[in-house]
Copies of this chain bind each other. A is one copy, B any other.
Amino acid sequence: MARSTEATPERDERAGATRASRPPLTRERILLAARDLADREGLAALTMRRLGAELGVEAMSLYGHVRGKDDVLDGLVDVVVGDWADPLPGSDDWAAVVRATMSVAHEVLLARPWACELIAARPAVGRNRLRFAESLQARMLGAGFSPQLARHSLHIIDGTITGFTLQELRRATLTQMGEEVAAVARGERRDEYPAITAVIADADHDHAAEFALMTDLVVDGLESMRRREATARSTDPRRAAGADAPISPKCLRSAREGR
């Protein structure tokens, strides 16, 4: 083929100019491009080919720096988690740290609706997630939480952040709903769904207040658990050292209360 001569200008705009002008492909550059692409066009548009195009590169070229699409997605999760790892780096007030973390994470996830879905779908744990967990656990242990309660708390906080935001986003994205649901939302089904209709009646639903309520619920609840633990330790010195039953007895009777 006469490619080697004829291809010279083509090379200039691809490999040649590329090699010279374009920064080399990197895992990090790929992940950031993926994040921007998802921001702009949603998770569905995040395709290996599309992602390559975004970087001025063919799809298969990505595979030198990334194990596959799953790897990109996992990396993306950790990039997002990095946005709320360790806020208030100086403080050792665990409650303030929890409030700040929940608030920041909530905002980050609202700003990137695709991230919630991604976190739900991929169980990835990256370095930023470790940082996040370590930061929170350190404050809680320092504040006198038992290791068990600290662990429970982390899981509760984690689940609360993604779960609540997810549910909020789900309601926001609910533009294309069935006719029946739309009718209920318009309040035309008072006979069939009286409670929902009554609750929906007042138009101005305050999202921020709702999230604040959830935050209070979590922080206050954890604080009361921590106090209960502390008093139990001081009144029953046998348990002060051991770690056998640090959870309030109330928790043991609640689940499966009826069905």
Contacts and interface: CB of A to CB of B under 8 A. Distances in A.
Given A257-B103, A259-B103, A173 B214 contact: no
B160 A160 contact: yes
Contacts of A257: 96, 99-100, 103
Given A250-B216, A252-B209, A258 B170 contact: no
Contact of A121 (B120, B184, B215): B120
B152 A213 contact: yes
A129 to B, nearest CB: 8
Interface stretch (A53-61, A196-204, A231-239): A196-204
16 contacts: A88-B258, A99-B254, A130-B181, A130-B184, A137-B195, A137-B198, A138-B195, A147-B202, A155-B171, A156-B214, A160-B164, A162-B166, A163-B163, A212-B252, A215-B254, A216-B248
10 A-B pairs closest in CB distance: A163-B163, A120-B120, A137-B195, A217-B221, A159-B167, A159-B164, A138-B195, A212-B255, A123-B170, A212-B251
Contact of A247 (B127, B177, B209): B209
A214 to B, nearest CB: 5
A258 B100 contact: yes
A205 B256 CA distance: 19
> Secondary structure of the A side of the interface?
helix
A243 interface: yes
A77 to B, nearest CB: 10
A45 B78 CA distance: 26
Given A141-B198, A162-B166, 10 more contacts: A87-B258, A88-B259, A117-B120, A137-B195, A152-B213, A160-B164, A212-B252, A212-B253, A217-B217, A217-B218
Contacts of A209: 152, 247, 251-252
